[in-house]
């Protein structure tokens, strides 16, 4: 752990979020908030522009189109940053608000997200903060991405086009060439941040202080072993701890990079980042958010709150007018700019970088593994069951030779389109490189696992995660008291689950180690790790008739919602 302590700076679904946000984005821009008092002479004003993005997740290539127009792609994201900076070249700060890597497409993940770091270095970022996905592969790998060096933990090997392992980590990988801040990522059991909690950047003779925080939910939504060395204290409490330090250093313009999300309808916004912003010190001028992949541009208790979708589909453009004498922000405004490809020319250096990785990954990504008779989607029934979830659960159950299988819906990241299905498409469905684990649970423990689908978030709000299942069926009533929400569990033949019997169970390594709050899995006996979840899905599809059909939860449901 000592090696981690360093002084150096280091779903709304995407489609729905894009479409709901689009009309708002076209005319976005939070109103300026003038400070009371006498007008400040124009010659005393410093104009600082903050350009940022969040939840890039290694999307070097365009994620999709909005209103029929392609958006994003690293080369276009870079071009938009360049274009907006030309409005204020002396006063611009570039940054990201977390989840720049993790859950990435094959073009980045296959190379351990090094391509995304190279791309961000080319974009000339000044600052970044940690999101929950930076922890996906543990602290050592997170710090390697920041500090550089070739990966050497045994996970540097990937299957090449011929199936043989190849080291896909760059021996000369330099890490990020911009610092990271993370105030509420601390060494477990202490209050000691493992990265600098804040930094100060000066532009146009004015100083801006930045504090970085990440949702405390990180402890529940990342593989437990990966976050075990860290604690994640309350965000607003942490911000309020460091605001006085910044002010003692003569900084009055304060911006929080908060990897925490919410949703906005009109000017009204709700969610964790909103409630945390309300509790932040009034000296905070702006909060740049992330995590929920949504559009946000509003004010919360006078503080500007902004979030720019995800995957490079938009950028934040925050303008602060700072009185050089008092050092405080006298007015602020923001715009969320959609990165339409047809409105700019791509950045040539980043374009060449992406093209090089596209060429390298093509033989791996384009290998056909099967043919789908129709679209297989994550779209859930009212009970929370999806065709793709059923397909994945069946795959893991067969792969493990288990009685039952459970799959967390948050681990399913893309749909399967009808027609030929490539390895690259399957990777997009399950990009986390989780392993399939096999264990033994009693029927009583299975009931308790299913009861853990009904939880509360860090703010005490109800949160339901319906597991995708294979080998059993269950019904539930979420209105029942805690501990009695599962009303029945049966085998496929209709026989009730025997609470006293022992069953073999398959689950991916994320939930098998307690991820998403499913801690009962950690009680499993005789656990065995069998291979990757992607291999399980590929093997399952290979064994189905071609073209294959997925289970249909609308006609043959495994999960029934009551009440």
3-state secondary structure 270-333: ECHHHHHHHCCCCCEEEEEECCCCCEEEEEECCEEEEEECCCCCEEEEEEEEEECCCCCEEEEE
Output the pLDDT for position 13: 38
**Which of the pair, 442 or 459, is modelled with greater confidence?**
442
Output the pLDDT for position 36: 53
Q: Can you tell me the distance from the alpha carbon of 90 to that of 205, in angstroms, rounded to the nearest whole number?
A: 10
Average pLDDT value for residue range 467-489: 97
Q: pLDDT by residue (tens digit) across 7-26?
A: 333 333 344 344 444 434 44
Average pLDDT value for residue range 527-541: 96
Output the pLDDT for position 42: 84
Q: Compute the radius of gyration of the chain from its Cα atoms.
A: 24
Output the pLDDT for position 456: 85
Cα-based distances in Å from 418 to 27, 36, 158, 338, 373: 36, 60, 27, 29, 6
Give the position of tokens 């740049």. Answer: 288
Token representation of residue 333: 């405004």
Q: Which pLDDT band, with edges at 50, 70 and 90, does 30 fall under? A: low
Q: Can you tell me the distance from the alpha carbon of 80 to that of 92, in angstroms, rounded to the nearest whole number?
A: 13
pLDDT at 356 over 60: yes
pTM over 0.85: yes
Output the pLDDT for position 460: 77
Pairing of strands 45-53, 92-96: parallel
Average pLDDT value for residue range 407-411: 96
Domain boundaries, the chain: 2-357, 368-561
Q: Can you tell me the distance from the alpha carbon of 140 to that of 103, in angstroms, rounded to the nearest whole number?
A: 17
Q: How many residues does the chain have?
A: 563
Output the pLDDT for position 245: 98
Fold of 368-561: 5'-nucleotidase;  domain 2 (3.90.780)
Average pLDDT value for residue range 432-452: 97
pLDDT at 34 over 70: no
Q: Which pLDDT band, with edges at 50, 70 and 90, does 285 fall under? A: very high
pLDDT at 5 over 60: no
Percent of the chain with pLDDT over 70: 93
Output the pLDDT for position 15: 43
3-state secondary structure of 207: strand
CATH number of this structure's domain 2-357: 3.60.21.10
Average pLDDT value for residue range 251-272: 96
Q: Which pLDDT band, with edges at 50, 70 and 90, does 37 fall under? A: low
3-state secondary structure of 416: strand
Closest CA to 309 of 62, 113, 107, 25: 25
Least confident of 157-161, 351-355, 358-362, 406-410: 157-161
Backbone φ and ψ of 208, nearest 5°: -125, 130
Q: What is the mean pLDDT of the chain?
A: 93
Average pLDDT value for residue range 113-125: 98
Token representation of residue 340: 């339409």
pLDDT at 27 over 50: no
Token representation of residue 146: 């920041």
Output the pLDDT for position 458: 66
């Amino acid at each position: 752990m000592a090696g981690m302590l360093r002084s150096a700076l280091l779903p709304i679904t995407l489609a729905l979020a894009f479409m709901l946000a689009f009309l708002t984005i076209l005319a976005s821009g939070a109103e300026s908030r003038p400070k009371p008092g006498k007008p400040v002479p124009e010659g005393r004003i410093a104009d600082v522009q903050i350009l940022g993005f969040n939840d890039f997740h290694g999307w070097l290539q365009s994620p999709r189109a909005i209103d029929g127009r392609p958006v994003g792609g690293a080369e276009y994201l870079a071009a938009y940053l360049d274009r907006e900076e030309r409005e204020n070249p002396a006063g611009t700060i570039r940054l990201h608000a977390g989840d720049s890597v993790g859950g990435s497409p094959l073009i980045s993940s296959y190379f351990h997200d090094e391509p995304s770091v190279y791309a961000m270095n080319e974009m000339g970022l000044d600052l970044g903060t940690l999101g929950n996905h930076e922890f996906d592969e543990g602290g050592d790998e997170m710090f390697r991405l920041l500090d550089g060096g070739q990966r050497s933990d045994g996970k540097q090997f990937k299957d090449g086009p011929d199936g043989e392992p190849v080291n896909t980590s760059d021996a000369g990988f330099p890490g990020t060439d911009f610092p990271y801040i993370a105030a509420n990522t601390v060494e477990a059991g202490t209050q000691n941040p493992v990265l600098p909690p804040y930094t100060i950047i000066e532009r146009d003779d004015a100083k801006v202080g930045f504090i970085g925080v990440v949702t405390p939910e990180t402890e529940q939504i990342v593989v437990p072993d990966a976050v075990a060395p860290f604690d994640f204290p309350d965000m607003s409490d942490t911000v309020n701890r460091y605001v006085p330090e910044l002010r003692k250093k003569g900084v009055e313009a304060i911006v929080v990079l908060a990897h925490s999300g919410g949703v906005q309808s009109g000017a009204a916004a709700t969610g964790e980042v909103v409630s945390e912003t309300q509790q932040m010190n009034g000296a905070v001028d702006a909060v740049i958010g992330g995590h929920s992949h949504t559009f946000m541009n509003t004010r919360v208790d006078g503080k500007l709150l902004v979030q720019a979708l995800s995957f490079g589909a938009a950028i934040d453009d925050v303008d602060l007018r700072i009185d050089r004498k008092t050092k405080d922000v006298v007015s602020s405004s923001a715009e969320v700019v959609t990165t339409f490809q047809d409105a700019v020319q791509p950045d040539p250096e980043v374009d060449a970088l992406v093209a090089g990785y596209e060429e390298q990954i093509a033989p791996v990504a384009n290998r056909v593994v099967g043919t789908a008779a129709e679209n297989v989607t994550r779209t859930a029934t009212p009970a929370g069951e999806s065709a793709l979830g059923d397909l994945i659960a069946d795959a893991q159950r067969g792969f493990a030779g288990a009685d039952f299988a459970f799959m967390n819906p948050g681990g399913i990241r893309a749909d399967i389109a009808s027609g030929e299905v490539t390895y690259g498409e399957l990777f997009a469905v399950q990009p986390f490189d989780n392993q399939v684990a096999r264990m033994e649970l009693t029927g009583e423990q299975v009931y308790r696992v299913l009861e853990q689908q009904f939880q509360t978030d860090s703010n005490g709000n109800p949160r339901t995660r319906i597991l995708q299942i294979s080998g059993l069926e269950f019904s539930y009533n979420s209105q029942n008291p805690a501990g009695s929400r599962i009303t029945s569990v049966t085998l496929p033949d209709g026989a009730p689950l025997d609470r006293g019997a022992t069953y073999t169970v398959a689950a991916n390594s994320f939930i098998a180690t307690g991820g998403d709050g499913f801690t009962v899995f950690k009680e499993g006996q005789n656990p065995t790790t069998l291979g990757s979840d992607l291999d399980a899905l590929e093997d399952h599809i290979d064994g189905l008739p071609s073209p294959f059909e997925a289970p249909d939860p609308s006609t043959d449901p495994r999960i029934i919602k009551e009440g």
